[in-house]
């Protein structure tokens, strides 16, 4: 009995960022650790002595009292924040009960079809951080590819959408667009939003930052304006301008998605069911009523065959119809990057050239943006079917889109980001005469990322040639821009090894 107590431990914030996975630290000599028979990586539940919110965490065992001493209970940064208590506060730790919805995950693993109630319970437990990473991985794998019926994708979408904040704009038509990604330079949102908003249609577009790509719309827009805005200000801008181009923030809308992504991404899990549920849940929670989905298709795109693209489209349509979204899905040309620039500053330049009707503008970016904007404009009952494209072109050519973009930039506030292209530059040349047969989206993205994009705004790749262009030996194919020597060297090395360009034989 002696020396063995259930006394509370003193809470300590351990300055380690464990990203979406809560970690608790107990010293190996901590009496509670020893008496509870915890194991490292056990899941534990931490509560304040005074009651209140409890948090779940994975246990790491510490042998260094300067990190966590035997009388302390250490918490990684996010876990400490979630618990919301002060350092030194009394806290207790106990074995965490596995979340009850894990039974449903086990039934899914066993091949059963789950109900809406099951998906609702699973997503709720995930949002409450009751799932460990491996439990999320188990759930995701069990409902990937072969494992999930389209009815279940619908259940999952609804459960994800209602699991957090939900916006209601009190507008009859709230337009939005989404591209499933994978094509460098594909910054159509920054053209579609000003065109559509200039028409007066309501399009409160929020975007993500790049996760695995060299630039997200939020990264690129940030070259021109502030993108991290408080919700109140953002709503005011949308009310006034009918549109915005802001960072979507995280964890408010469909928060389960952000948590699942922390497992999906490292696992490269991107099954159609999860993709559809993730996108539609976010859009539903964001209050969209009309949505255009862009599925680029090509040999180095995410979707590589017409059959896959069609299957994905039908799944979007099935779920979209049932959750009450007016949905259009377009399958677009994804065989090469769109526009010339890859990287925030270079892509912002392309966008502004199109808005300014600059003769140097990248025609493919302009063309694709007009196609997409046209389809969205046709959501307006007053726009005749087939007239959207012409209307979009008129808005662009008249300068009204540019004017709207300037108004949005003014409203969001000019940023303090340098707009300069990276000062280190290297040009990659054609090795022989020929014409461009293929450009590898993934390789170009890799080179741009190694060069420093999106963190270094001016870094990236500037394309001089596109598929079908004829080139002579030693003619420039593209330039690599970087801000730092080490990044520059790595990017050049990768490009020398594989330029990403293929010439016709």
- Binder of its own copies out of 12, 43, 283, 481 (CB under 8 A): 43
Tokens representing residue 38 in the block: 């915890």
Compute the least distance from the CB of residue 106 to its own copies, in Å: 7
Compute the least distance from the CB of residue 147 to its own copies, in Å: 8
CB nearer its own copies, residue 110 or residue 307:
110
Plot region of 165 (φ>0 → left; ψ -120 to 50 → alpha; else → beta): beta
Cα–Cα distance measured from residue 165 to residue 286, given in angstroms and rounded to the nearest whole number? 8
- Binder of its own copies out of 294, 350, 462, 487 (CB under 8 A): 487
Q: What are phi and psi of 39, to 5 degrees?
A: -120, 150
63 in active site? no
Query: Quick check: 138 binds its own copies (CB under 8 A)?
Result: yes
CB atoms within 10 A of CB 76: 23
Query: Quick check: 342 binds its own copies (CB under 8 A)?
Result: no
Query: Quick check: 485 binds its own copies (CB under 8 A)?
Result: yes
Cα–Cα nearest to 57, from 96, 3, 19, 29? 96
CB nearer its own copies, residue 64 or residue 431:
64
CB nearer its own copies, residue 95 or residue 239:
95
Query: Quick check: 4 binds its own copies (CB under 8 A)?
Result: yes
Tokens representing residue 342 in the block: 């890859």
- Binder of its own copies out of 102, 253, 392, 417 (CB under 8 A): 102
Query: Quick check: 315 binds its own copies (CB under 8 A)?
Result: no
Query: Quick check: 282 binds its own copies (CB under 8 A)?
Result: no
- Binder of its own copies out of 45, 67, 393, 415 (CB under 8 A): 67
DSSP string computed for 327-353: EEEEEEE-SS-SSSEESHHHHHHHHHH
DSSP H helices, 204-326, are 217-221, 231-241, 255-267, 272-285, 306-322
Query: Quick check: 331 binds its own copies (CB under 8 A)?
Result: no
Tokens representing residue 265 in the block: 């991404």
- Contacts for 337 with CB less than 8 Å, ≥ 6 apart: 183, 184, 185, 186, 439, 441, 444, 463
- Binder of its own copies out of 45, 54, 69, 77 (CB under 8 A): 77
What is the chain's alpha carbon radius of gyration, rounded to the nearest angstrom?
25
The residues of the shown chain that bind its own copies, judged by CB under 8 A, are 1, 4-6, 14-21, 23, 25, 28, 34-35, 37, 39-43, 60-64, 66-67, 76-77, 98, 102, 106, 109-111, 132-138, 140-142, 144-146, 262-263, 266-269, 449, 452, 455, 484-487
Active site residues: 270
């Amino acid at each position: 009995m002696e020396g063995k107590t259930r006394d509370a431990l003193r809470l300590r914030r351990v300055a380690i960022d464990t990203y979406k996975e809560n970690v608790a630290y107990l010293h190996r000599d901590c009496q509670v650790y020893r008496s509870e028979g915890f194991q490292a990586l056990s899941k534990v539940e931490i509560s304040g002595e005074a009651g209140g919110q409890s948090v779940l965490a994975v246990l790491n065992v510490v042998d260094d009292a300067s990190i966590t001493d035997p009388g302390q209970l250490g918490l990684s940064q996010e876990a400490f924040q979630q618990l919301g208590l002060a350092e030194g506060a009394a806290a207790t730790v106990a074995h965490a009960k596995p979340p009850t919805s894990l039974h449903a995950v086990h039934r899914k693993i066993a091949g059963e079809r789950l109900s809406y109630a099951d998906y609702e319970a699973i997503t709720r437990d995930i949002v409450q951080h009751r799932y460990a990473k491996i439990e999320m991985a188990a759930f995701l794998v069990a409902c990937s590819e072969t494992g999930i019926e389209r009815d279940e994708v619908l259940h999952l979408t609804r459960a994800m959408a209602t699991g957090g904040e939900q916006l209601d704009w009190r507008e009859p038509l709230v337009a939005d667009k989404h591209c499933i990604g994978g094509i460098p330079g594909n910054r159509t949102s920054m053209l579609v939003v000003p065109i559509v908003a200039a028409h007066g249609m309501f399009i409160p577009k929020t975007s993500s930052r790049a996760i695995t790509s060299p630039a997200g719309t939020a990264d690129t827009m940030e070259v021109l304006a502030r993108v991290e805005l408080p919700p109140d200000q953002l709503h005011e801008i949308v009310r006034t301008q009918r549109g915005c181009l802001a960072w979507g923030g995280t964890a408010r809308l469909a928060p389960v998605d952000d948590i699942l992504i922390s497992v999906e991404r490292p696992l490269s899990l991107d099954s159609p069911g999860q993709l559809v549920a993730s996108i539609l849940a976010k859009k539903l929670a964001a209050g969209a009523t009309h949505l255009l989905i862009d599925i680029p298709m090509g040999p180095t795109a995410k979707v590589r065959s017409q059959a896959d693209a069609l299957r994905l489209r039908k799944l979007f349509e099935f779920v979209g119809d049932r959750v009450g979204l007016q949905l259009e899905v377009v399958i677009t040309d994804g065989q090469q990057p769109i526009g010339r620039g890859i990287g925030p500053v270079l892509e912002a330049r392309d966008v502004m050239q199109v808005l300014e009707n600059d003769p140097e503008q990248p025609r493919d970016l302009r063309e694709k943006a007009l196609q997409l904007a046209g389809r969205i404009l046709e959501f307006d009952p007053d726009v005749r079917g087939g007239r959207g494209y012409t209307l979009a072109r008129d808005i662009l050519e008249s300068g009204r889109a540019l004017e709207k973009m300037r108004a949005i930039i003014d409203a969001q506030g000019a940023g303090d980001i340098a707009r300069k292209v990276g000062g280190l530059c290297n040009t990659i040349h054609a090795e022989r005469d020929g014409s461009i047969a293929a450009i590898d989206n993934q390789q170009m993205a890799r080179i741009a990322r190694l060069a420093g994009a999106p963190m270094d705004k001016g870094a990236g790749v500037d394309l001089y040639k596109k598929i079908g262009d004829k080139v002579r030996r030693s003619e420039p194919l593209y330039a690599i821009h970087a801000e730092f020597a080490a990044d520059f060297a790595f990017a050049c090395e990768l490009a020398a090894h594989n330029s990403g360009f293929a010439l016709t034989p």
